[in-house]
A and B are shown apart, each in its own frame.
Chain A
Amino acid sequence: MAKAKNNTLKLKFDTSWNFAPAPESKSIASIKDKYDLFINGAFVKPSSKKYFKTINPANEEVLSEVADANASDVDKAAKAAHTAYDKVWKKMSGKERGKYIYRIARMLQERAREFAVIETLDGGKPIRESRDFDVPTAANHFFYYAGWADKLEYAFPNRQAQPLGVAGQIIPWNFPLLMAAWKIAPALATGNTVVLKPAETTPLTALKLAEIIQEADLPPGVVNIITGAGATGAALVNHPGVDKIAFTGSTDVGKFIQRAIAGTNKKATLELGGKAANIIFEDAPLDQAVEGVINGIFFNQGHVCCAGSRLYVQESVYKTVLRKLKDRIETLIVGDPLDKNTDIGAINSKQQLETIHKYIKIGQQEGAELHQSSCALPGKGFYCRPTLFTNVAQSSRIAQEEIFGPVLTIQTFRTEDEVIEKANNTPYGLSAGVWTDKGSKIFNMTTKMRAGVVWANTFNKFDPTSPFGGYKESGYGREGGLHGLNAYVNLV
């Protein structure tokens, strides 16, 4: 009991901590065997004639088959979007556009439970998160931007906001429905039409959203949703009829897109990778800080571009914080994403699980010390234990590169200046976190962090009114809030 010196209680993890299973019912989710492409207001068969399977990463069962759009499908969708823009959408008053978007928001709220279940089935995230965060926030996003549609003249002083035309939007697999909402809502509010491509591992909620869009009587072609992998995305980026590219995904693909559209007049917003510093000072409320760190890195299995993946702890409290963190990861429930008690669900795909394992190996080879929860993992499906690394060098690849999984590196610091330098020493600049009880220190730190979103004494909070986006190689442009309108307008 030498550790008792620490003067805080150690948690016990005996049998009394087990929860009974509390699975959400799958019966509410209606998933078709096969999904076609949503083009010009109707579901149409792909000219590629090809379909690919989408699976549940929690148990590797096939959920559905989804059309694989080729270049000619992309062309159809882009043309439908262009016609809808010219003939209908750009002529419609903001007031009427707004009412359509409100309608989508409401229908999404009505079917929230169904969407939450499908999001969890297709992506592997805990039902608690899809139910309490992804789906309501997506609906709120539509609701927020609906209201902007007839108020744009108040957003840009001394300028008139004009739509760009057809927006090609490519979204990732970590927040499939929410990212669709982030992209579609502001584009429609500002008078643009849309071709959206969801990620190949998580296409279902976007296709269900297409059903809502159809049901909402949105004029055909205003929103087109096409499924496929990288080649489909590339065809969309390179299509001459697309006026704007909005992309959320990896920095590598973001750079590819920036190069691909270099010789064109296409506008772009890029929401790319991150490697956020989460900084704990000795005067922070440590228990709250530890909860924030846990939320920062294990929210959505760490598949979050703004995840707080680099923890910096002031030396004087390092031992205490580390012990609390190790204790806390033991209590995290890893397993069936549909279980309401689950904290960490399934890794989104086999490929991503391999990437995470690769980095865990690299961390060990680089001499960092590995700490993992001792929890059992389900036999089938893709799972990863919550993972901490201590003894990490600033130059280590696990501290420099985005892992996109439940892996946290922990480093220490002594002074404010030292941690500012370490935190900013990255090509990324998406988010950062600061934990301290001293107000002036908070403002010094939040001002000095070169990142687009800074959470002080909190982490991983999102809201439709709150602009989100990066500095440096984390991309450019903002999504959310008044600033998010800017991405979809020409100011004249």
Chain B
Amino acid sequence: MAKSAIKKSNIHISENGLENHQPEKRLEVLKTYKIYIGGQFPRTESGRYYIATNSKGNKLANVCLSSRKDVRDAVESARNAFGGWSARAAFNRGQILYRMAEMLEGRKAQFIDELMQQDASKAKAEHEVNLSIDRLIYYAGWCDKYQQVLSAVNPVASSHFNFSVPEPTGVVCMIAPQQYSLLGLVSVIAPVIAGGNTSVVIGSYDKPLSCVTFAEVLNSSDLPGGVVNILTGKSSELAPWMADHMDVNALVYCEKDEATQKMLKEKGAGNVKRVVIYDKVNWYSDSGQSPYFINDFQEIKTTWHPIENIGGGGGKY
């Protein structure tokens, strides 16, 4: 480097030859907020975006404005992931949900920071992140227990062995609670995947940061790609495509908007979707978690098999 250049710069070599820094203002690396499909982080194929702001109007990020094609891609990857995920050992699903909680705990500071950027107070942000971690632990524990609570051995009158067990419904599309951007997201995803379903979720439009960052937690939790797919954008635009899609088995909606509820149920009838509305759930309370949320996305299968010569042993065996 030429002497003149050194003079102009704010580094100069001291007599002992060590560099002496004048503090430089470091340029921050901004995060690109992308969507999460099939375990990958693509941008929306539409190339569209919107600017997320806080309540003061300060820009937080450019966020993907997902399209109908993104919904279709996400549903396809959810369907492809369904066979493998539903066939996983229940114990293994529990381990993965627990791992998700561990990863979330490890990145607590980042989530608190993002929630605060999105107008939460520090105390509220901490509370929401803590609840979200604990909710994942709660459902991690249910993964290999709800089957025992929800199943039955049925004492039929004929000589058959007969039992009923829950099996996952399939691909579940969800519009996550819009106000609780992290807790709401976790609260709807966890029971659905704990039960062996795969999912496509639209995160909060106004507070999209946490849902994108949560995808990074999923990505580092051994959760197979496609089990949870997360889109950002307008639910009013995307939800009708979800409700019309013939390879989607169930829908979840958490807001009070009656027109949307009606639209989802009407369109959902196209292939007899299970449409679940959670517009009265308080996600902050203990009533925001229970095995009945898992049950909402389970089908009961009853299996029969003949028993040879029932009771044939008389009193002697």
Interface string of A240-254 (1 = CB under 8 A from B): 000000000001001
Cβ contact within 8 Å between A466 and B306: no
Q: Does B304 contact A (CB under 8 A)?
A: yes
**Contact between B299 and A471 (Cβ–Cβ < 8 Å)?**
yes
Query: A255, B304: Cβ atoms under 8 Å?
Result: no
Choose from A259, A474, A481 the contact partner of B164 (Cβ within 8 Å). A481
B301's partner among A251, A255, A453 (CB-CB below 8 A) is A453
Residues in A whose Cβ lies below 8 Å from that of B108: none
User: Please, how many angstroms separate the alpha-carbon atoms of A113 and B61 in the complex?
Assistant: 75
For residue B162, give the distance in angstroms from its CB to the closest CB of chain A.
5
> CB-CB contacts of B145-167 with A at 8 A, as 1s and 0s?
00001001011111010101000
B249 — which chain A residues lie within 8 A by C-beta?
A: 472
Q: Looking across the interface, which residue of chain B has its beta carbon closest to that of A254?
A: B272
Residues of B within 8 A of A171 (CB): none
Q: What secondary structure prevails in chain B residues at the interface with A?
A: mixed
Report the minimal beta-carbon distance from B300 to chain A, rounded to whole angstroms.
Answer: 5
Interchain CB contact under 8 A, A259 and B266: yes
Q: Which of A272, A427, A455 has the most CB of B within 10 A?
A: A455
* Contact call A258/B269, Cβ cutoff below 8 A: yes
Give the distance in Å from the alpha carbon of A472 to the alpha carbon of B171 in the complex.
11
**Are the C-beta atoms of B158 and A468 separated by less than 8 Å?**
no
Q: CA of A457 to CA of B155 in the docked complex: distance in angstroms?
A: 18
Residues of A near B265 (CB, < 8 A) are 258-259, 261-263
Known: A452-B301, A454-B302, A472-B249. A461 touches B272 (CB 8 A): no
List residues of chain A with CB within 8 A of the CB of B266: 258-259, 262
Contact of B269 among A140, A259, A263, A474 (CB under 8 A): A259
Give the CA-CA distance A425 to B182 in the complex, in Å: 38
A465 engages B303 (CB within 8 Å): no
Q: Which residues of B contact A258 (CB under 8 A)?
A: 265-266, 268-269, 272
Task: Report the count of interface residues on A (CB-CB < 8 A).
Answer: 44
A483 touches B271 (CB 8 A): no
State which of A263, A452, A481 has its C-beta within 8 Å of the C-beta of B262: A263
Taking a contact as CB atoms under 8 Å apart, the answer to whether B272 and A270 are in contact is yes
Beyond A157-B149, A471-B299, A483-B300, whether A466 also contacts B271 by CB under 8 A is no
How near does chain A come to B251, taking the closest CB pair, in angstroms? 12
Q: Is the CB of B269 within 8 A of A465?
A: no
Residue B91 at the chain A interface, CB threshold 8 Å: no
Complex partner residue of A251 from B149, B263, B272, B290, CB under 8 angstroms:
B272
Inter-chain contact A458/B304, CB cutoff 8 Å = yes
Task: Check A427–B271 contact: CB distance below 8 A.
Answer: yes
B292 interface residue per 8 A CB criterion: yes
Q: A157-B149, A258-B268, A481-B164 are in contact. Are A463 and B300 (CB under 8 A)?
A: no
B-side contacts of A231, CB under 8 Å: none
Q: How far is the CB of A238 from chain B (nearest CB, A)?
A: 14
- What's the least CB distance linking B153 to chain A, in Å? 9
Say yes or no: B258 contacts A263, CB within 8 Å.
yes
Question: How many angstroms from the CA of A473 to the CA of B304 in the assembled complex?
Answer: 22
CB A441 to nearest CB in B, in angstroms, measures 12
Question: Interface readout for B283-317 with A: 1 if CB under 8 Å, 0 if not?
Answer: 00000001010000001111111100000000000
B305 touches A451 (CB 8 A): no
B42 beta carbon closer than 8 Å to chain A: no
A159 at the interface (CB under 8 A from B): yes
Complex: chain B residue closest to A288, CB-CB: B306
Q: Mark A446-478, 1 if CB is under 8 A from B, else 0.
A: 100001111111100101011111011111101
Residues of B within 8 A of A255 (CB): 269-270, 272
A28 within 8 A of B: no
Query: A18 at interface (Cβ–Cβ under 8 A)?
Result: no
Which residues on B sit within 8 Å (CB–CB) of A475?
272
Contact of B152 among A140, A158, A456, A482 (CB under 8 A): A482
**In the complex, what distance in Å separates the CA atom of A473 from the CA atom of B273?**
8
Query: A-facing mask of B205-248, CB < 8 A → 1, else 0?
Result: 00000000000000000000000000000000000000000000
Inter-chain CA distance A472–B273, complex, in Å, is 7
The yes or no answer to B68 lying at the interface (CB within 8 A) is no
Of the candidates B160, B261, B269, the one having the most CB atoms from chain A within 10 angstroms of its own CB is B269
For window 175-199 of A, CB contacts with B under 8 Å fall at none
Nearest CB in chain A to that of B263: its residue: A262
- With both chains docked as a complex, state the minimum distance between the C-beta of B167 and any C-beta of chain A, in angstroms: 8
Residues on A with C-beta less than 8 A from B169 are 471
Chain B residues whose CB sits within 8 angstroms of the CB of A62 once the complex forms: none
B304 touches A481 (CB 8 A): no
A44 contacts chain B at the CB level, 8 A cutoff: no
B72 within 8 A of A: no
- Extra inter-chain contacts (4) besides given A451-B301, A454-B304, A466-B302, CB under 8 Å: A255-B270, A259-B265, A463-B156, A481-B164
Binding site for B on A (CB under 8 A): 140, 157-159, 251, 254-256, 258-259, 261-263, 270, 272, 427, 442, 446, 451-458, 461, 463, 465-469, 471-476, 478, 481-483, 491
Measured CB to CB, the residues of B under 8 A from A are 149, 152, 154-158, 160, 162, 164, 169-170, 249, 258, 261-263, 265-266, 268-272, 274, 290, 292, 299-306
Interface CB pairs A-B, < 8 A, 28: A159-B292, A254-B272, A256-B269, A259-B265, A262-B261, A270-B272, A427-B271, A446-B301, A453-B304, A454-B302, A457-B306, A458-B160, A458-B306, A465-B154, A465-B157, A466-B164, A466-B304, A467-B154, A467-B302, A468-B302, A469-B300, A471-B169, A472-B249, A472-B271, A473-B271, A475-B272, A481-B152, A483-B164
